[in-house]
Structure 1
Amino acid sequence: MAALGVCITAAPCAYVLARQQGRGWRVLTFYFMATITVPVQLYLYPLYFIFAKLGLVNSIPAVALIYTAMFSPFSIFLLRTYVLSIPYALEEASEVDGATAWQKFYYVILPMMRPGLLTVAIIVGLNAWNEFVIAVTFLQNNDNVTAIVKFFSLTGQYSTDWGEMLAAAVIIVLPVVLIFVLLQRRFIDGMTAGAVKS
């Protein structure tokens, strides 16, 4: 859910920031950099207070919304450099054909952003899979906890079943390794495609 939310929100935002640079771009850059560098512990308490008031604690979509907000700035920066590598002549050609701004994005830019979107989805998915602080704070019901939180709960105060812990570690790591091995080439292509502006 977090990867999907980031891709849906970051793609049009990156397109606008890449093509419509104005005076506010420096302010937005500073804002995104600030959100990337601020540690999660700084806004954990006010965020929990708001979510508790709204009754969103122990809600998986609510946690996915937090992850979407956390990982969007980096994803926007990554996709913005990817959009800058797409020739503007393609958009001009679509304008000649009478395409609107939304049609240019949906039919011209978005298909060419697929490697970048896949890269963002992989990075966000891995970060959300491995994230602990938000998950352990907002998901307190045993039916909703993530794999990382469940793995942490396997550690006993006086004794630990190491066989159970090692089996759980394999179960947690195996999907991540398989996804990365299967999508390794597309991931690398997506990371390097937006590195050089053509």
Structure 2
Amino acid sequence: MFKYSYRTFGRELVFLLAAAAWAVPFVILVMIALKPGDEMLTDPTSLPQQLDFSSFPQAWEGSSGVSLGAALLNSTVITVGSVIALVAIGSICAYVVVRREGRMGKGIYGLFVAGIILPFQLGIVPAYAVLRELGLAGTYPGMILLYTGLLMPLTVFLYTGFVRTLPKDYEEASYVDGASRIQTFIRIVFPLLRPITATVAVLTGVMVWNDFFVQLIFLSGSPLQTLPVAVYSFVGEYVSQWNVIFAAVVIAILPVLAFYLIAQKQLIQGFTGGIK
């Protein structure tokens, strides 16, 4: 029977203090975004004397000819497309790797692990050359294809650890009923992968959404500017208006924060692994 003690209170207090420390940057971000321009320059760290929401419409209009709304749409299309491709391909690949016993399965898994270790920056130049020759540089399909290749090793690694916890009894019963391998995977295995699928979707989605380096290189000169690149352009145009820059950052993090809050239960289950 659980008994609330001083040790429990101390543990909860430590967790609350840690949560407060993690929340400080977000509080400062919102505070500065809601401050008027003159107050921002005179006293940036204090609480705003009056709330000023005018920086959000100004941030939404964007800079350098790219609105924040268009950048939000571009980031959404690239992120959602990449996550769908990673989940669809990575889950099947991990399932085959785990169920294929012997050296071949272990060798393929080792190649994916090596893909996590090696820095992807080593292949940026040849990847850009290939996409340009194919006419995919600066396009939605090109960026989705690129991120699918870059994050596939991590996706397979996460799925593989979870698939290994799945008993084969469900699959064997499906085979007895006359289902094929692909039918077994779609109807039996993939629904059991829902916790790790949420984990993969959140992790890879955040990586694609927040990525700046790849998007700056492969989308340079195209109209498909994403949120990180659009927010970066604010620094040059609104260098003295940090409230506008911070408002743009708040707008940029809201969608992925909402997605995380919705999928956090499945995310925790994916990290713990296994099924009951």
Aligned residue among 35, 49, 69 for 2:129: 49
Assess, with a 3 A threshold, how the Cα gap between structure 1 residues 147 and 158 changes in structure 2: closer, same or farther. closer
Q: In the TM superposition, what is the alpha-carbon distance from 1:158 to its structure 2 partner?
A: 9.4
Q: Equivalences for 1:3-152 in 2 at 5 Å?
A: 3-141=83-221, 143-152=223-232
- Aligned twin of 2:241: 161
Moved more, 150-159 or 67-76: 150-159
Looking at structure 1, the residues matched to 125 and 241 of structure 2 have their Cα atoms a distance apart, in angstroms, of 33
Residues 140 and 76 (structure 1), Cα distance of their counterparts in 2 relative to 1, 3 Å cut: same
TM-score, length-scaled by structure 2 = 0.67
Where 2:236 maps in the other structure, the secondary structure is coil
Alignment partner, residue 252 of structure 2: 172
Where 1:151 maps in the other structure, the secondary structure is: helix
Structure 1 distance, partners of 2:186, 2:257, is 32
1:155-180 superposed Cα distances (whole Å, 9 cap, x missing partner): 12894421210110101112222221
Distance 1:74 1:40 in 2: 12
* Structure of greater Rg: 2
The range that moved more, 7-16 or 99-108, is: 99-108
Q: Percent identity?
A: 34
* Distance in structure 2 (CA, Å) of the matches to 1:183 and 1:31: 30
Unaligned runs of 5+ residues in structure 2 are 1-80
Letter in 2 for 1:162: W
Q: Give the whole-Å Cα distance in 2 for the aligned partners of 1:61 and 1:24.
A: 31
Deviation at 1:182, TM superposition (A): 2.1
* 1:113 CA displacement: 1.0
Q: Check conservation: 2:138, 2:222, Cα contact below 8 A.
A: no
Deviates more, 1:9-18 or 1:50-59: 50-59
User: How far apart are 1:118 and its partner, in Å?
Assistant: 1.6
Give the RMSD, CA atoms, in angstroms.
1.8
Contact 2:97 2:106 in 1 (8 A): no
Q: 2:264 aligns with which of 156, 163, 184?
A: 184
Post-superposition Cα deviations, 1:2-24, rounded to whole Å, max 9, x if no partner, equal 00000010111111111112212
- Could you tell me how far apart the structure 2 residues matched to 1:88 and 1:179 are? 32
Q: Which amino acid aligns with 1:24?
A: M
2: CA distance, partners of 1:97 / 1:149: 52
The answer to whether the 8 A contact 1:154-1:160 is kept is no
Checking the alignment, whether the CA contact within 8 Å between 1:60 and 1:139 is kept in structure 2 is no
- Runs of 5+ consecutive residues of structure 1 not aligned to the other structure: none
Q: So what's the TM-score if we normalise by structure 1?
A: 0.92
Q: CA deviation at 1:142?
A: 5.5
